[in-house]
Structure formats: structure tokens, C-alpha cells
Amino acid sequence: MEMLFSCVAILAGFLLLIWSADRFVIGASGIALNFGVSPLIIGLTIVGFGTSAPEMIVSGVAAYEGTPNLAVGNALGSNITNIALVLGITALVSPLLVHSKILKREYPIMFIIMLLAWALLWDGELNRIDGVILLCGMFALMGFITLMGIKEKKQSGSQDPLEEEFSEEIPKGMSTPMAFLWLFIGLVILLVSSRLLVWGAVNIAHAFHVSELVIGLTIVAIGTSLPELAASIASALKGEHEMAIGNIIGSNMFNLLGVLGIPGIMTGAVLDPNVLSRDYPVMIALSVLLFIFAYGFKGKGRLNRFEGGILLMCYVAYMVIIYQQSI
């Protein structure tokens, strides 16, 4: 009976996470728009932050519940899932073109962040100093992206394709009180649903005698990446290719800085050895593969169906490795 309750808690947690994250982003975007913030800045900061809100809240709850390795698994697993599963499926549905200068600038920033986080975790621990550095990096990233986006717009005198797509997606005409209400409701339900999800995930981990890291890398990571999957497919079908890939790059950067930083600053963690020997190298390898596929060294980048299929097969292979090592 407890296993049934755990499965129901995970399912309910996932569904509520998806809905509440959307409400949170809509409320925050509505408030920013009503105060005169441009769609580009809203998209690069609030929307980028909001897509990682489920992972961040789950990470905080997991650390509070005494399972920081679940939080670490969620951060790395979500990045792996975003690249290999989400972009793999999205490219199979609709090949993606990449021609935004903003995205081409964010690729190398993402690699710098990955190397920074790897250096901090190299000693096998995620401590409070590491957490402070990562969270400071998250706020610095938001400021840098915003300033560069504004600077580039002024220099070019025209809209970046990504700004045009953000402008179309951000809700307009919402009153400020209503926006604050959705922001509050979204945040509260994010907290409640995260508590449900972590409770169910930990129970299942104990029942099947698998590590909390593995649960974070698989069940929790897939569930918290569902908003990215839905958003990327919807954006691709609308022809908003910049948004589809931009959401993933932004989410991955926020995951490494925010989702990893939260358990570090709250409780710290002694890492499972597989984090550095298996999971982090896989995340870096997939990021390099995405860079090769989509960057566009001589013009517009492109992620076609064949490349999407390769990413998807990499994800399946990774899941098989985790399964074999867990039994």
C-alpha cells in the first residue's frame, strides 16, 4: 500500500510541478512586463529561471529532507535529459535551425559553468562554500546575459530572433494583482508538489534498494524535465527554433548553478563516487556533441532528425548503463 501511495505521490507531484511552474513563470513575466521590462530581458532571466524552478525547489526540499544526493542527481540528470531526451525528441519532431547570436554566445558560457562546477566537485564534496560560489554565479549569469542582450540590441538596431519569439510567447494584458496572485499560487504549489515528489521518490529508492542518486538521475530528472520537453516541442512546431534550444541551454546553466548550489548552501553533501566517474563526464560529452551538431561554424546551425536520433540513442544507452550498475 505504501508503494502505491509513493507512486501516486510522484505522479501527482510531477503534474502539479508542471502546472505550478507554468503559473509561476506567467505571473513573474506579467509583473515584469507591467513594470516596463522588455520581452528579451524577461525571456533571458525570468523564463530561463522559471524553467529550472521545479529542479530548484525539488533540490531544496531534497536537501531539507536529508537526501542531498537526490538533489545532485536531479541537477545532472536534468541536464543529461534536457540534451539527449528533450532535444533528441524535439529534433525528431521538427529539425531545429539556430541563427541567434545570443545563443551562440551562450554555448561557451555553458561550458565555462560546467568546468567551474566540475572543479568545485572534484574533491568529492559539495560544501557550503561551493554552494555560495554557484549561487553567486547564477545571479552573475542573469546580470551578464541581460546586459549583453541589451548591448547587442542597441548595436544591431534590430530585434534578435530570440527576442521576437519571447515577445510572442509572453502573456500580455494581465493585471498586476492577477500576476502577483499567479506568482504566489505557483510558488506555493511548487513547494507542495516538490515535497510530494521527494517523499515518493525516496520511498521507492528504499523499497528497491537503489541509491537516491539513481532516483534523482532517472525518475526525478525525467519528471522535472517534462516542462522543457513540452515547451521545446511546442516551440519547434511553431517554428520558434531559437526558443526550443534557448530554453535547454538556459535551463542547463541554471541547473548547474542553482540546483547544485541550493543543497550545497543548505546542508552540503558527500558525493556518490559515480557522480564524477560516470554522470558528469556523460553530461560534458553530450554538451560537446550538441555543440558540434547545432553551433553552426560557417553560418546557421542546425539540429536535424538524424542528429536528434543520435542524441536519443545516447540517452537510452545511458539509462541502460545506470540500470546495469544498479542491479
- Reported as a single tens digit per residue, the pLDDT across 89-115 is 999 988 887 766 656 777 888 999 999
Grid coordinates in use for 212?
A: 537516491
For helices 241-254 and 68-80, give the axis angle rounded to 10 degrees.
150
Whole-number Cα distances in Å, 83 to 11, 74, 91: 23, 14, 11
Return the number of other C-beta atoms located less than 10 Å from residue 285's C-beta: 15
Grid coordinates in use for 34?
A: 507591467
Q: How many angstroms separate the CA atoms of 64 and 147, rounded?
A: 34
Residue 80: what pLDDT? 95
The tens digit of pLDDT for each residue in 197-243 reads 888 888 888 787 888 889 889 888 888 887 778 778 877 777 777 77
User: Residue 180: pLDDT band by 50, 70, 90 thresholds?
Assistant: confident
| 12-29 average pLDDT score | 81
Q: How many angstroms separate the CA atoms of 104 and 99, rounded?
A: 8
The answer, yes or no, to whether residue 25 has pLDDT greater than 80, is no
Residue with grid cell 517523499, as numbered in its chain: 199
Whole-number Cα distances in Å, 28 to 21, 46, 49, 276: 11, 7, 10, 36
Q: How many angstroms separate the CA atoms of 245 and 263, rounded?
A: 27
The answer, yes or no, to whether residue 150 has pLDDT greater than 90, is no
Residue 132 amino acid letter: V
Residue 184: what pLDDT? 85
pTM (2 d.p.): 0.84
DSSP letters of 158-193? S--HHHHHHHHHS--S--HHHHHHHHHHHHHHHHHH
Residue 230: what pLDDT? 77
Q: Please answer whether residues 71 and 59 qualify as being in contact, where contact means their C-beta atoms are separated by less than 8 angstroms.
A: yes
- Closest-CA residue to 6 (of 283, 183, 215, 260): 215
User: Residue 320: pLDDT band by 50, 70, 90 thresholds?
Assistant: very high
What are the beta bridge partners of residue 37?
Answer: none
Residue 13: what pLDDT? 83
The tens digit of pLDDT for each residue in 308-318 reads 999 999 999 99
User: Residue 297: pLDDT band by 50, 70, 90 thresholds?
Assistant: low
Residue with grid cell 515518493, as numbered in its chain: 200
What domains are there in the chain, each with its CATH number? Answer: 2-326 (1.20.1420.30)
- Closest-CA residue to 22 (of 53, 45, 62): 53
Residue with grid cell 541563427, as numbered in its chain: 99
The answer, yes or no, to whether residue 76 has pLDDT greater than 90, is yes
User: Residue 286: pLDDT band by 50, 70, 90 thresholds?
Assistant: very high
Residue 125: what pLDDT? 93
Q: Please answer whether residues 241 and 235 qualify as being in contact, where contact means their C-beta atoms are separated by less than 8 angstroms.
A: yes
What are the beta bridge partners of residue 316?
Answer: none
Who wins on pLDDT, 256 or 234? 256
Distance linking the first and last C-alpha atoms of the chain = 24
User: Residue 322: pLDDT band by 50, 70, 90 thresholds?
Assistant: very high
Q: Please answer whether residues 6 and 199 qualify as being in contact, where contact means their C-beta atoms are separated by less than 8 angstroms.
A: yes
Whole-number Cα distances in Å, 202 to 91, 197, 206, 215, 289: 33, 9, 6, 8, 32
User: Residue 268: pLDDT band by 50, 70, 90 thresholds?
Assistant: confident
| 79-88 average pLDDT score | 93
What percent of the chain shows pLDDT beyond 90? 28
What are the beta bridge partners of residue 270?
Answer: 125
The answer, yes or no, to whether residue 161 has pLDDT greater than 60, is no
DSSP state of 308: H
Most confident residue range from 41-50, 139-148, 261-270: 261-270
The answer, yes or no, to whether residue 163 has pLDDT greater than 70, is no
Residue 121: what pLDDT? 94
Q: How many angstroms separate the CA atoms of 42 and 47, rounded?
A: 6
Grid coordinates in use for 60?
A: 531544496
